[in-house]
Amino acid sequence: MATPKKRINKNGTISWKIQVQVKGQRATASFDTHLDAVIWADRQEKIFRGEIQPEVGTAGSGDMIFHQAADKFIVECRATNAVSPSQIHNYANSQLQFSRTFGINKRMSEITPQDVAAHVLKRMTEDQVGAPSIRNELSFIRSIFTKAIEWGIDYPSPELKIKRPRSTDKSKEEKLDHLIKLAELKALLHEATKRSSNLYQYITFLLYTGMRPSEAAMLLWEQLPTQQEKKSKREYKHIGYVDLDRGGFSMVGTKTSDKRFVPAHPKVIKIIEELRETAPEGKKLVFLDDKHLNTTVASKHYRRTFKTTCDNARINGEKLRGGISLYSFRHTFRSTTAKCKIPTEVGEAIIGHNDKSFKFTYIHLEDDILIEAIRLLQYDI
């Protein structure tokens, strides 16, 4: 019979690791006590020899039902604030997709690279899912198998041999499709004034700040107390607030842990003053009701109203083209800063782009900028 080995964990606690191997079958597990390890090893050896059967719908120690492992992984991530709330949401969606493919009783030891490849093929062909979503799902299953080593479950991740799909670069025309043309912008703003919510003020705010939709939706009137701010930073929550004494909005940021200052355009200052006049005393959020404080994607509140606005807006009696979203205002803002000859570094600092690939995207969108620039070229010949 196998002998448990004493192990001191990183946090200083003691555990007992034991490995059972019978006729080519192998299982490893860790336990808090020596006795639990011995009892498990005895039972596992009997299972390998066929003397007893594991319970239906369960996996013996040293193995785990994948669906249960995914549950445990997500619970631990949530408990330790290891990832953002939006990432937890992505994990839950990935778990759902794998459960549809594998079922809810498949053990981790039974998942093969062929199973994962079949899942990827199904998602791409039947579900028409893009490459980024599939890469996220593959990262999810790898994270579970990596984490499971700490639980005494040691199997190679079945996704390691799977080639990850790559996204195709968008053409210039596809990028231009994100921008809102002047006529479309006028029609949208006119239609937005008919909405009962503060949609007009919200999209005008996006247009003049370049904020991400959720950054604006979760904007606070005042800075959070120090302890709350530290907690929010760990959880990657919104802590951007109105700071007109400084001339704009401080601590804005959602996509990364980096926070930035966003200057306030005169039209934005006017919007803030209008909203402040009608805001109830003690209200925390600028645009939304405080019941949305714990919402993961706050801008969802505006999506339906904005879609209705797009559907009803007309240019010379014609409906607007598709493809316009709340995020389009951010693209339009950045392109307009380039056309207005605002320095590249300033434009990037305002919208919070860290990746160099973004720094030339919007400059290259408008042909007029290139044409005007090439006219400055001259040779002394």
Cα 201 to Cα 24, 120, 206, 267, 275: the distances in Å are 68, 43, 9, 10, 9
Answer yes or no: is pLDDT of 369 > 90: no
Segment 119-145, tens digit of pLDDT: 999 888 888 888 888 999 999 999 999
Answer yes or no: is pLDDT of 229 > 60: no
How much is the pLDDT for 139? Answer: 92
Query: Of 311-320, 341-350, 355-364, which gets the smallest average pLDDT?
Result: 355-364
Residue 234 pLDDT grade (very low, low, confident, very high; cuts 50, 70, 90): very low
Answer yes or no: is pLDDT of 209 > 50: yes
How much is the pLDDT for 10? Answer: 64
**Mean pLDDT value of segment 89-114:** 86
Give CA–CA dist 214/294, Å, rounded: 12
Cα 254 to Cα 12, 61, 237, 298, 378: the distances in Å are 35, 40, 7, 12, 44
Which residue intervals of 149-181 are DSSP H helices? 172-176
How much is the pLDDT for 52? Answer: 67
Query: Of 229-243, 253-267, 297-311, which gets the smallest average pLDDT?
Result: 229-243
| CA-closest candidate to residue 252, choices 212, 306, 192 | 212
How much is the pLDDT for 255? Answer: 58
How much is the pLDDT for 350? Answer: 85
Strands in the chain per DSSP E = 5-8, 14-22, 25-31, 241-243, 248-252, 260-263, 314-315, 318-319
Q: In this structure, which amino acid lies at residue 174?
A: E
Answer yes or no: is pLDDT of 368 > 80: no
**Mean pLDDT value of segment 65-83:** 84
How much is the pLDDT for 225? Answer: 76
The SS3 assignment for 80 reads: helix
Query: Of 7-16, 55-64, 260-269, 292-301, which gets the smallest average pLDDT?
Result: 55-64
15 vs 290: which has the higher pLDDT? 290
Cβ pair 156, 145 in contact under 8 A: yes
* Edge-to-edge strand ranges of the sheet holding 14-22: 5-8, 14-22, 25-31
**Mean pLDDT value of segment 230-248:** 71
Q: Give the rounded percent of residues in the chain with a pLDDT score beyond 90.
A: 16
Q: Determine if the pTM surpasses 0.75.
A: no
**Mean pLDDT value of segment 343-370:** 66
Segment 286-339, tens digit of pLDDT: 998 888 877 766 678 888 888 888 888 888 888 888 778 898 898 888 888 888
Q: Give the rounded percent of residues in the chain with a pLDDT score beyond 70.
A: 80
How much is the pLDDT for 274? Answer: 92
Radius of gyration of the chain (CA): 27
Answer yes or no: is pLDDT of 200 > 90: yes
How much is the pLDDT for 104? Answer: 79
Residue 363 pLDDT grade (very low, low, confident, very high; cuts 50, 70, 90): low
Give CA–CA dist 135/86, Å, rounded: 16
| CA-closest candidate to residue 280, choices 269, 289, 293, 291 | 289
How much is the pLDDT for 151? Answer: 84
